[in-house]
């Protein structure tokens, strides 16, 4: 695997001694709290348990620090395309480069005294570093640059993050060949919020565990990003009736759906048949059967309404 840094350096998985360091402690064990540059509010890594957390450390630099500001702005403008992720940039002091960030300053936090860098075995911090934690608070992966301005670009981070979070079961999902677009481009949040199917925009997308979703509005995308498991369809996006009746994978009509108990079920429909009508007749038996059949096929437990 090859990773391309912002300034074009190429490295392998053994990026540096940092890449093979022992894993960071669980976020529940980290004692250091950070201070938001913009609001002064405190943040502890354990606050992000339940979602993925990316901590991007920026070293103190003398002289030209515009690359630091540029990378923060780059991530701030694109981070909404990754769901279920909290991203934070960390600097040891409110250096001059932080004064012209505009709205991007919202993702910058101060690690006064480098307490967090020390706890995560990054001290002394001489180059940018990133550590990503999974929803349970365990380290997922880490990266470090080779020089003070050797930043990991957003595209490189996105590729690495998506690969690390894509489940083996994705091969069982109802996705078109050649891409991972879910529900034929329909907005998953619209089924819940508006109670009707809406086509999403190719310009408003977010990726969750390797699957891309489209949205009719940025507000719907923000809602999805905060809790993607709540809105993703059951049974990998296959027809719920077919999964319940026979354990088979059958295509769906995205306009034929049912939201019940916080779960989005999708169904096949054509001129002659409507799988939703069949489901409504047999829901009591077919729903638990569909859950069991999907687990047997994919290894995934039933998708349930979440927080």
pLDDT tens for the chain, residues 1 to 307? 334 344 343 343 334 444 445 678 999 999 999 999 999 999 999 999 999 999 999 999 877 789 999 999 999 999 999 999 999 999 999 888 999 899 999 999 999 999 999 999 998 899 999 999 999 999 999 999 999 999 999 999 999 999 999 999 999 999 999 899 999 999 999 999 999 999 999 999 999 999 999 999 999 999 999 999 999 999 999 999 999 999 999 999 999 999 999 999 999 999 999 999 999 999 999 999 999 999 999 999 987 765 4
Residues 6+ apart with CB under 8 A from 291: 301, 302
Q: Which residues contact 304 (CB under 8 A, 6 or more apart)?
A: 261, 262, 263
The alpha carbons of the chain give a radius of gyration, in whole angstroms, of 22
Whether 242 is in a domain gets the answer: yes
Q: What are phi and psi for residue 74, nearest 5 degrees?
A: -60, -45
3-state secondary structure of 126: coil
Helix (H) or strand (E) segment spanning residue 164: helix 154-165
Q: Give 85's strand partners.
A: 52
| Structural domain that includes position 104 | 3-165
Which of 132, 147, 165 is the C-terminal boundary of a domain?
165
Q: Does pTM surpass 0.85? A: yes
Residue where one domain finishes, among candidates 140, 165, 190 = 165
Residues 68 and 28 in one domain: yes
Q: How many angstroms separate the Cα of 128 from the Cα of each of 144, 201, 265?
A: 6, 34, 44
- Token pair, residue 150, equals 């050797």
For the chain, how many structural domains are there in total?
Answer: 2
Which residues make beta-bridge pairs with 206?
A: 213
Q: Distances in Å between the alpha carbon of 188 and those of 100, 198, 210, 213, 221?
A: 36, 8, 16, 7, 9
Same domain flag for 177 and 225: yes
> Based on the domain organization, do 203 and 94 belong to the same domain?
no
**CA dist 209 → 71, 172, 176, 262 (Å):** 24, 13, 16, 20
Write down the residue that tokens 């769901």 correspond to: 83
Instruction: State in Å, rounded, how far the first CA of the chain is from the last one.
Output: 36
Q: Are residues 139 and 11 in the same domain?
A: yes
Per-residue tokens: 261: 């108990």
Residue 68 contacts by C-beta under 8 Å, 6 or more apart in sequence? 58, 61, 91, 95, 97, 149, 151
Is residue 192 domain-resident?
A: yes
Report helix, strand or coil for 146: coil
Last residue of a domain, one of 147, 165, 183: 165
């Amino acid at each position: 695997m090859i990773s391309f840094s912002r300034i074009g350096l190429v490295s392998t998985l053994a990026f540096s001694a940092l890449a093979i360091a022992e894993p960071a402690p669980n976020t529940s064990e980290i004692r250091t709290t950070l201070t938001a540059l913009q609001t002064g509010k405190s943040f502890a890594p354990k606050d992000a348990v339940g979602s993925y957390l990316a901590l991007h450390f920026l070293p103190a630099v003398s002289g030209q620090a515009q690359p630091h500001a540029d990378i923060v702005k780059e991530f701030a403008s694109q981070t909404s395309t990754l769901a279920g992720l909290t991203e934070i940039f960390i600097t040891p002091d409110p250096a001059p480069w932080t004064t012209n960030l505009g709205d991007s300053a919202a993702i910058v936090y101060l690690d006064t005294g480098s307490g967090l860098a020390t706890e995560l075995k990054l001290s002394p911090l001489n180059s940018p570093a990133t550590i990503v934690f999974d929803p349970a608070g365990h380290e997922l992966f880490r990266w470090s640059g080779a020089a003070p301005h050797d930043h990991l670009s957003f595209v490189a981070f996105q590729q690495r993050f998506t690969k690390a979070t894509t489940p083996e079961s994705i091969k069982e999902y109802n996705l078109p060949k050649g891409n991972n677009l879910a529900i034929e481009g329909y907005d998953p949040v619209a089924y819940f919020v508006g109670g009707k199917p809406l086509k999403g925009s190719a310009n408003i997308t977010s990726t969750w565990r390797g699957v891309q979703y489209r949205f009719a509005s940025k507000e719907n995308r923000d809602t999805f990003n905060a809790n993607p498991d709540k809105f993703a369809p059951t049974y990998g996006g296959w027809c719920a009736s077919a999964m319940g009746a026979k354990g088979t994978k059958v295509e769906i009509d995205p306009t034929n759906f049912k939201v019940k108990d916080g779960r989005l079920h999708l169904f096949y429909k054509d001129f002659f048949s409507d799988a939703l009508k069949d489901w409504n007749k047999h829901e009591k038996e077919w729903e638990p059967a569909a859950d069991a059949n999907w687990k047997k096929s994919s290894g995934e437990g039933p998708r349930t309404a979440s927080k």
